[in-house]
Amino acid sequence: MIYITRRECFNAAHKLFRPDWSEAENLERFGKCANPNWHGHNYVLFVTVKGEIDPKTGYCANLKDLSSLIRTCVIDQLDHKNLNLDVAFMKDKMTSTEVVAIEIWKQLEGPVAGLGCKMHCVKLVETENNYVEYYG
Amino acid sequence: MIYITRRECFNAAHKLFRPDWSEAENLERFGKCANPNWHGHNYVLFVTVKGEIDPKTGYCANLKDLSSLIRTCVIDQLDHKNLNLDVAFMKDKMTSTEVVAIEIWKQLEGPVAGLGCKMHCVKLVETENNYVEYYG
Amino acid sequence: MIYITRRECFNAAHKLFRPDWSEAENLERFGKCANPNWHGHNYVLFVTVKGEIDPKTGYCANLKDLSSLIRTCVIDQLDHKNLNLDVAFMKDKMTSTEVVAIEIWKQLEGPVAGLGCKMHCVKLVETENNYVEYYG
Amino acid sequence: MIYITRRECFNAAHKLFRPDWSEAENLERFGKCANPNWHGHNYVLFVTVKGEIDPKTGYCANLKDLSSLIRTCVIDQLDHKNLNLDVAFMKDKMTSTEVVAIEIWKQLEGPVAGLGCKMHCVKLVETENNYVEYYG
Amino acid sequence: MIYITRRECFNAAHKLFRPDWSEAENLERFGKCANPNWHGHNYVLFVTVKGEIDPKTGYCANLKDLSSLIRTCVIDQLDHKNLNLDVAFMKDKMTSTEVVAIEIWKQLEGPVAGLGCKMHCVKLVETENNYVEYYG
Amino acid sequence: MIYITRRECFNAAHKLFRPDWSEAENLERFGKCANPNWHGHNYVLFVTVKGEIDPKTGYCANLKDLSSLIRTCVIDQLDHKNLNLDVAFMKDKMTSTEVVAIEIWKQLEGPVAGLGCKMHCVKLVETENNYVEYYG
């Protein structure tokens, strides 16, 4: 068993707020992240898959295929978008790094199985000071 | 003469568009950056000042003072904000990295002189793949 | 279960030596790290906690609270200090990266439980070429 | 139990191809990596070992010894070399990141045991966008 | 006048040697870089251009155009190639970082002028420990 | 004319204080940096030299020679040392980043001329948030 990781980036706007809370309540719980007019990040996504090595190619997974799959299923939906408004798979969800990481996992789990390997980890870096890891 | 640089970060939303152009025209000229619902970045700002060394302290500028000044004049206005909507000194301006860098310079030039040194460069990093430098 | 990591930095002096060994013996075992007049590092600390996601906020832990807690319990004790002389929780201990990481874990374990999540890992980076991970 | 990691770098040429496949077939499967005249990388190797802490030194492993061992067993064989042509332990093997990581593990497993600790992970970074981890 | 920089990467093999010198002489002058079977690097290229800001767009140069131009004129020639054997504009030249940087400048100077701005600097990073800058 | 830069690292302890000032005065002017028992940093040094390219080698300067020279003249004096107590060329000087950078320049200027090129810049990075540049 070997683990292979692909890094992809996306730049997006978001805010953390609940429409069922007052603006004051949102600011109290989410601080600056509740700014009504949004803020944004250069998100860095690390997708780790695991599997056996194909003795013919030496590959666990073809990185070009893995990259294409991540771009189609995830990056194209998120890059230069508003995570709260523009993304079908984030509809009616909080856009915390935790929730975004889990939803990215859900987008990738099936397609990655089609490459002959299994999802191991989604790591989502929001700033140089914080990131989330989800293992399913 | 010696040059000293302080790094500060801010996370912001923005978009590149002209209200006097059609949405199609904006998308053609600005591509994904014109997304109507905004996108965002982890901006990294490097402010370089120059001056003589104070023989008593060995300092060109006290970094704590320089950092406070940058935070008060720039970061507090930009961090977790929408560059197009929330920032007084960006009002009615394009929010390209070039223009933001120049407006940051204007905010800092006077106050930096008050520290006894001179502005040398504002470097503004928008993504790992692009940045702008302005020397006044 | 999800894992969330916060990065914090501190700059400190230390040396590796045992007062019950001769200076020669210390130099032989610890090399340059035994320099009698100390040396120092920009330490980078990654604290990973794990827990369930609060469906209301989308948070596993509020990063602002986690950061405050790490600063109060750890960074304020270590930053711009001498690890051998100035730090109560390092008294009479070797200041190897391994031991510092374990003592940081001990400082954080109780307070992190108070945030409603559990400690998962303390990663302490001493230089770009070496780091330690402790999982309790 | 504690985990300690040492980073070492090497710069090498390689290509991905099978002499029993046609050049067209190699290009189809391996893309640009099959370029007949080679290409190359700045590989970054992270070796993680685990063990108990020696209460006298505070060390799990002496990093200087660990570094020397990695350099002798691995870096000296790989640095400024052609992974397909110059490296005894890669003879007749595919030079994918996956296979190189596993072969590095095999070189290190015995010698690391001689230091009184155990191999935990070989992480091999080929580019900023991809890396492999092997845990034995 | 403002300066804007675009980063692009390429992975390539090369060696430093003169066919009119003996292998021993090459090894003496170029050390490990003269390895007959090549070695390689993840090169990182920073291209800085300068110009006036277009008041309509806020752009000095459209980064998408600049990136396309760098990819067409430089990256497509160098990426996953052997700098000594595969690159028309390096024919019969030494492949030191210095010479590669200058030849990259020559490829870009004309096309960059076509974007309405001027070349300012080519910075070519060969390893984390060394890079070259050329200003024409 | 071309510019070539070599990076070298050193880990050192220091403090900012004047023995002719009271401890309170030192703390007021230098803040945490005046901690009596020292603190420390992983300093990163970038030395940039300039010159013509030798058409035979393609080199402006042989990096191996430049690295040896920097290690002998600078790194061996500073690494794992106390900048205030252990370094002959820092005797009776403030150990601010500014002053250390200038003193490093003085150590290197003569020897670099001996390599057939000229000093251009000493850049000294104290933390990820601040650095100094000196051009002579």
Per annotation, catalytic residue among F23, F39, F80, F133: F80
Give the burial class of C126: count Cβ atoms within 10 A of its Cβ; 0-12 exposed, 13-18 middle, 19 or more buried. Answer: buried
User: Partners for F (CB, 8 Å, 3+ pairs)?
Assistant: B, C, E
Say how far apart CA D89 and CA D78 lie, in whole Å: 10
- Give the per-residue pLDDT at F74: 98
Q: C101 to chain D: nearest residue by CA?
A: D2
| C39-51/B130-134 β-pairing | unpaired
Residues of E in contact with D85 (CB under 8 A): 37
- pLDDT score, position A1: 95
Question: Which residue of chain F has the CA closest to C41?
Answer: F41
Q: How confident is the model at residue B91, as a pLDDT?
A: 97
Residues of chain B neighbouring A38 (CB-CB closer than 8 A)? 13, 38, 40, 82
Query: For every residue of chain B, which 3-state class applies, written as one string?
Result: CEEEEEEEEEEEEECCCCCCCCHHHHHHHHHHHHCCCCEEEEEEEEEEEEECCCCCCCCCCCHHHHHHHHHHHHHHHHCCEECCCCCHHHCCCCCCHHHHHHHHHHHHHHHHHHCCCEEEEEEEEEECCEEEEECC
Q: Which H helix or E strand runs over A66? A: helix A63-70
Average pLDDT of the segment spanning A31-58:
97
DSSP F94: -
- CA separation for the pair E107, E74 (Å, rounded): 7
Angle at A31 between CA A27 and CA A33, to 5 degrees: 100
Cα separation, E70 vs F17, whole angstroms: 50
Q: What share of chain E is helix, strand, coil (3-state, %, to 5)?
A: 35, 30, 30
Nearest to F40 by CA among F94, F79, F69: F79
* H/E run at residue A77: helix A76-78
Across the interface, of B2, B7, B67, the residue whose CB is closest to F132 is B2
Helix axes B63-70, B97-114, angle to 10 degrees: 130
Chain A closest-CA separation from residue D97 CA (Å): 8
Q: What is the pLDDT of residue F31?
A: 96
CA dihedral of residues D112, D118, D121, D125 (deg, nearest 10) = -20
Q: Which of D30, D99, D131 sits opposite A5 (nearest CB)?
A: D131
Point out the residue among B53, B56, B63 whose CB comes nearest to the CB of F130. B63
Across the interface, whether the CB atoms of A132 and C53 are under 8 A apart is answered no
Q: Is the dihedral of CA F66, F67, F69, F74 positive or negative?
A: positive
Look up F126 and say whether it is catalytic.
yes
Residue range A18-23: mean pLDDT, rounded: 94
Domain A2-134, classified CATH 3.30.479.10, yes or no: yes
pLDDT tens, chain D, 136 aa long: 999 999 999 999 999 999 999 999 999 999 999 999 999 999 999 999 999 999 999 999 999 999 999 999 999 999 999 999 999 999 999 999 999 999 999 999 999 999 999 999 999 999 999 999 999 9
Residues of D in contact with E11 (CB under 8 A): 39-41, 127
**Are C38 and C17 contacting, i.e. CB atoms less than 8 angstroms apart?**
no
Whether C41 and F9 lie within 8 Å, measured CB to CB: no
Residue of F2, F63, F64 lying closest to E134 (CB–CB): F2
| CA–CA–CA angle B84, B87, B92 (5° rounding) | 50
CA atoms within 13 A on the CB side of E23: 3
CA distances, A74 to each of A9, A82, A122 (Å)? 10, 13, 12
- Whether F48 contacts F3, CB under 8 Å: yes
Question: Considering CB atoms only, which of F13, F32, F80 is closest to C79?
Answer: F32
Q: What residue in D sits closest to A63 (Cα-Cα)?
A: D130
Q: Do D80 and E33 touch (CB under 8 A)?
A: yes
Angstroms from C3 CA to nearest CA on chain A? 5
The pLDDT score that the predictor gives to residue D36 is 95
pLDDT, averaged across chain E: 97
- Phi first, then psi, for residue D129 (nearest 5°) are -105, -5
In chain D, residues with a C-beta closer than 8 Å to the C-beta of E33 are: 80
d(CA D57, CA C97): 11
Q: How far apart (Å, rounded) are the C-alpha atoms in residues C2 and F65?
A: 50
**pLDDT in the model for residue C12:** 98
Average pLDDT, rounded, for chain A: 97
Digit-coded pLDDT (tens) for C22-78 = 999 999 999 999 999 999 999 999 999 999 999 999 999 999 999 999 999 999 999
3-state secondary structure of C120: strand
Taking the CB of residue E20, how many other CB atoms lie within 10 A of it? 8
CB within 8 Å of F34: residues ≥ 6 apart: F15, F16, F17, F23, F26, F27
| Rounded Cα distance, F74 and F44, in Å | 12
Question: Which residue, D30, D11, D14, is CA-closest to D22?
Answer: D30
Over residues E71-96, mean pLDDT: 98
Pairwise CB contact (< 8 Å): E40 & D35: no
Contact criterion met (CB below 8 Å) for D71 and D98: no
- Contact: F81, C128; criterion CB under 8 Å: no
Q: Which residue of B has its CA nearest to E63?
A: B130
Check CB contact under 8 Å for C130 and D53.
no
Question: A touches which chains (3+ CB pairs under 8 A)?
Answer: B, C, D
CB E60 within 8 A of CB E51: yes
Cβ F57–E29 below 8 Å, yes or no? Answer: yes
Cα within 13 Å of Cα(F115), Cβ side: 26
**Residue from B9, B57, B66, B135 to probe the interface with F (highest F Cβ count within 10 Å):** B57
Distance CA A64, CA C58 (A): 33
Per the CB < 8 A criterion, the answer to whether E40 and D12 are in contact is yes
| Nearest Cα residue in chain E from D83 | E39
Contact D32 E127 (CB under 8 A): no
Helix/strand/coil percent split, chain F, to 5: 35, 30, 35
| AA letter at D83 | L
Amino acid at E37: N
Structure tokens at B27: 């998308």
Report CA-CA distances (Å) from E32 to B86, D100, F59.
Answer: 56, 21, 15
- Give the residue from chain B lying closest to A12, CA to CA: B39
Q: Do C98 and D7 touch (CB under 8 A)?
A: no
Q: Which residue in D62, D31, D30 sits closest to D49, CA to CA?
A: D62
Partners of F11 in beta bridges:
F42
pLDDT for res C47? 98
B/C Cβ contact: 3+ pairs below 8 Å: no
- The ipTM estimated for the assembled molecules is 0.96
For residue F57, which amino acid is it? T
Q: Do D80 and E11 touch (CB under 8 A)?
A: no
Which pLDDT belongs to residue C84? 98
Which pLDDT band holds residue C96 (cuts at 50, 70, 90)?
very high
Tell me how far apart the alpha carbons of residues A25 and C83 are, in angstroms, rounded to a whole number: 42
Chunked into runs of 10 residues, chain B (136 residues) has average pLDDT values of 98 96 94 97 98 96 97 98 98 98 98 96 98 98
Residue B79: predicted pLDDT: 98
Cα dihedral E118, E121, E125, E128 sign? negative
The residue of chain F nearest to residue E19, with distances taken between CA atoms, is F56
Partners for B (CB, 8 Å, 3+ pairs)?
A: A, E, F
B20, two tokens:
């006097």
Q: What's the CA angle centered on B4, arms B2 and B10, to 5 degrees?
A: 160
Name every chain F residue with its beta carbon within 8 A of the beta carbon of B7: 128-130
The residue whose two tokens read 């028309």 is E88
Q: Tell me the pLDDT of chain F (136 aa) as tens digits.
A: 999 999 999 999 999 999 999 999 999 999 999 999 999 999 999 999 999 999 999 999 999 999 999 999 999 999 999 999 999 999 999 999 999 999 999 999 999 999 999 999 999 999 999 999 999 9
Calpha distance D13→E12 (Å, rounded): 8
Pairing of strands F118-127, F39-51: antiparallel
Kindly list the residues from chain E whose CB atom is less than 8 angstroms away from the CB atom of residue D9. 127-128
- pLDDT tens digits along E27-40: 999 999 999 999 99
Cβ-in-10-Å burial (0-12, 13-18, 19+) of C85 comes to middle
Predicted confidence at residue A122, as pLDDT, reads 98
Structure tokens at F93: 């000087």
> Which residue, among C37, C33, C34, C63, has the nearest Cα to C48 in the 3D structure?
C63
Residues C41 and C75: beta-carbon distance below 8 Å: no
Residue D58 is nearest to which of C31, C99, C130, comparing CB atoms?
C99
Give the residue carrying structure tokens 């001689």: D114
